[in-house]
Structures are given as C-alpha cells and as structure tokens.
Amino acid sequence: MDGGSSSLVLQVAMGVALAACTGLRAFLPLLVVGVAGRLGLVGLGGSFQWLASSPALVVLGVAAVAEVLADKIPIVDHLLDLIGGVVKPVAGSVLATAVLTAETPLPPVVLGVLAGGGSAGLVHLTKAKLRLFSSVTTAGIGNPFLSVGEDIASLFGSVLAVVIPVVLIGVVVATLVLFFVVRRRLHARAANLGDANRR
C-alpha cells in the first residue's frame, strides 16, 4: 500500500470513528476535531478550516455543554433522540468529510456522507433503542447513568479517533456486537419472567 492509499485509509477510518461518536453526542466530536485542528493535530479540508476558528469553537463548546446537560433531563432526552435522528448523521457526514484531505476515488463529500452519515446513524439508532429499553425497564431511572456513559464514550472515543482511528473502529464494532448480545439476553430474561408470572 503506497503512502497516499495508507493516508486515505487512515483518514477514512478516522472519519468513520468520529462519525460513530457523533451518534452518541452531536457536538462533542465536532468540538474535539475543531480543537485538534486548531492545535495542528489533525488536517482539515480547505472548506472545513472554519471548524478550528475561534467563533466555531465557542459555539461548539456551548452547544456541547447544552447537549450534555439537556440529555440528563427526563422527556427532553427522548426529544433529543428524535432530533438527533437528523442532526447526528449530518454532523457525522461533516466530520468524515472534514478530515479527508487525501486524494479519494469518490468526491470527499460523497465518501463523507456514505461513511460518516451511515456510521453516525447506526450508532444513534442503537443508542436510542437502548435508551427506550432503559426507560421501559427502569422507569427512566437508569437513563441519566446511560447518558453519562455516552458522554464519556463520545469524548474519549473522539480523542482516540484522532490518535488511533483504526483501533477505535474495532472498539465500535465490538461495542455494537456486545450491545446486541446483551439486549437479546435481557429480552429473553424479561420473557422468562413474564412466563413465570403468568403461571
């Protein structure tokens, strides 16, 4: 694999990993990439240099804090999930496109939308289902704890995506597999309890 291909693979991996993190929080990954771009830790495509500007960092910082706090409020968290169904794939597409500076066989925007939007949408859908399951099984009591876990995963995931993107993609895939396994077992356990109660 030549240097250009290697660079493209790493940038696509970074974009997909960052987009997956936007599936948890729309603005934290954007803020992390903006700060990383400002510090010169990650390259940003020409039309995405604005992410590293002072006004963008202030707006993204405020938006990230507001999103994190609002997600701890009952009912508001479900409203955010509804809005996130649109906002998060867009944020994922922006990030995946922003970090693509190598030459690509497809236009960067197309590649960014396919890789970033799909990754963000899948993680958001999984998160929303888990949140709904938590609301039903814990009467919403477990939701703030899940929310804190999502904050941590999105923040540290975004940092890891900038530093070691390929490893993070493996972590994301493993996490999704683990989620489906746990969810299936919880459903089976709930079904068994229901059968036992009817006897």
Please write the tens of the pLDDT for every residue from 155-178. Answer: 998 998 888 765 666 666 777 777
Q: Which of 97-101, 148-152, 174-178, 189-193 shows the lowest per-residue confidence on average (mean pLDDT)?
A: 189-193
The answer to pTM > 0.85 is no
When pLDDT is cut at 50, 70 and 90, the band that residue 185 belongs to is: confident
Q: What is the mean pLDDT of the chain?
A: 84
Q: Residue 110: which of 100, 121, 125, 120 has the closest Cα? A: 100
Rounded to 10 degrees, the C-alpha dihedral 6/174/145/121 comes to: 60
> Can you tell me the mean pLDDT for 106-119?
80
Q: Which of 17-31, 43-57, 155-169 shows the lowest per-residue confidence on average (mean pLDDT)?
A: 155-169
pLDDT tens readout for residues 73-110: 988 988 988 899 999 999 999 998 998 887 777 777 78
Backbone CA torsion sign across 39, 45, 49, 52? negative
Which phi and psi angles does 106 have, rounded to 5°?
A: -110, 155
Distance CA 172, CA 157 (A): 9
> Can you tell me the mean pLDDT for 141-161?
90
Cβ atoms of 16 and 115 within 8 Å: the answer is yes
Q: Is 59 helix (H, G, I), strand (E, B) or coil?
A: helix
When pLDDT is cut at 50, 70 and 90, the band that residue 3 belongs to is: very low
